[in-house]
Amino acid sequence: MTLKLPIYFDNQASTPVDPRVLTAMLPYFTEHFGNPSSRSHAFGWVAEEAVERAREQVAALIGAKTPKEIVWTSGATEATNLAIKGAVEANKHGDRNHLITQKTEHKATLDTCKHLEKLGCSVTYLDVDAEGRVNPDDVRAAITDQTLLVSVMLANNEVGTVQPIAEIGRLCHERGVLFHCDAAQGVGKLPFDVEAMCVDLASISAHKIYGPKGVGALFVRNERPRVQLVAQIDGGGHERKMRSGTLNVPGIVGFGKACELCGLEMAEETRRIEALRDRLERGLFDNIDLLHVNGSRSHRLPGNLNVSFPYVEGESLMMALKDVAISSGSACTSASLEPSYVLRAMGVSDDLAHTSIRFGLGRFNTEEEVDHVVRLAIEKVRKLRDLSPLYEMAKEGIDLSKIEWNSPHHH
């Protein structure tokens, strides 16, 4: 089997559409093109039936009690905005205007919270430990009588750390506080059950689980408690009045199929992808010294490996591995020299953060690809380190943190 270049190792950013998902979608572009809101003819009924079947497929994957708890959105970012802003607006006449989240959340959550702070909400941003995990005791301590909602993600997109969702959910329910979980990175890869984990609101996205881009969903618990949200997009009152707009039927059908496949194949796929990741990790660590895993070894996504390569700039390594799609922690969301806010919150030094690379393995990656990337990385890291006087000094056992530099030392 010949190796096809470039190699895609960025499955946390997005995934290819599974061919079985595409096959399910195709008829809904051409022959079954009706609008599910058209109640007066067969074209609309067929589309509506397809949308309702997809709702059942998504609900089944996350353990929702009823499919009507699934509200379609354009993706997890919109779902998160609807969840948090919608809950705050629904409670604006009450006395609860305090939100709790944590520092390594996705920007969709953090920026929504920042926006609400400008409108008078108070927000607590909890610290994480060195592995990127939130301590449920910190959540408990942060909850007050004013707390409306807690938002903690299932799994982190950069370092793959999985949060203790069930514990946090239980203590939210004990205190009568809503619990939102951004589950976009974890759903379909990790067992996630909104009932067992006491989750009231959950954001999910199709393009992280081998479905199409531009479609997602918000799980909105319907009883115990029945969650009230104010719509953020007004119009014809679609989606139980929570999200107006003509539904993206082919996307929704693909999302449903993607969820069904994850449900059927998750256990086996997790084992295979973890084996690939361990093979990648061993290959790198056995042949390159001083490496450092960012995140948690015991609580992480199957396909995630985030590694710092000291004495090699992440950006230079990415350039050197130009036939491999990976991402670097030095500047995830912008062209700035700020290191990743996720790594910073975990206490990773700026120097190490600048050398970090995220490898994201998925359903369609192979052992051949892993072995090729390992060989390439070994060669390129050695080349780049040969250019680094700091690496030479570190090899000789000099503690670089104790050195007095003569010139002002800036990155």
User: Which tens digits make up the pLDDT trace of 295-325?
Assistant: 999 999 999 999 999 999 888 999 999 999 9
Rounded to two decimals, what is the model's pTM?
0.95
pLDDT tens digit string along 19-64? Answer: 999 999 999 999 999 999 999 999 999 999 999 999 999 999 999 9
Which of the following CATH numbers is that of domain 7-11+266-402: 3.40.50.300, 3.40.50.2300, 3.90.1150.10, 3.40.640.10?
A: 3.90.1150.10
Helix (H) or strand (E) holding 87: helix 76-90
* pLDDT of 334 above 50: no
DSSP string covering 23-83: HHHGGGTTTT---TT--SSHHHHHHHHHHHHHHHHHHHHHT-SSGGGEEEESSHHHHHHHH
pLDDT tens digit string along 268-279? Answer: 999 999 999 999
> Which pair of tokens denotes residue 375?
């060989």
Q: Where are the domains of the chain?
A: 7-11+266-402, 19-261
Q: Which CATH number is 19-261 given?
A: 3.40.640.10
DSSP string covering 272-340: HHHHHHHHHHHHHHHHSTT-EE-S-SSSB-TTEEEEE-TTS-HHHHHHHTTTEE-EESSSSSSSSSPPP
What lies within 8 Å, CB to CB, of 251 at 6+ separation is 25, 206, 211, 212, 214, 215
CA–CA distances in Å: residue 202 to residues 32, 77, 313, 319, 380 = 30, 11, 36, 37, 41
- Could you give the residue numbers annotated as active site? 332
Contact present, 288 and 381 (Cβ < 8 Å): yes
pLDDT tens digit string along 137-146? Answer: 999 999 999 9
User: How confident is the model at residue 333, as a pLDDT?
Assistant: 47
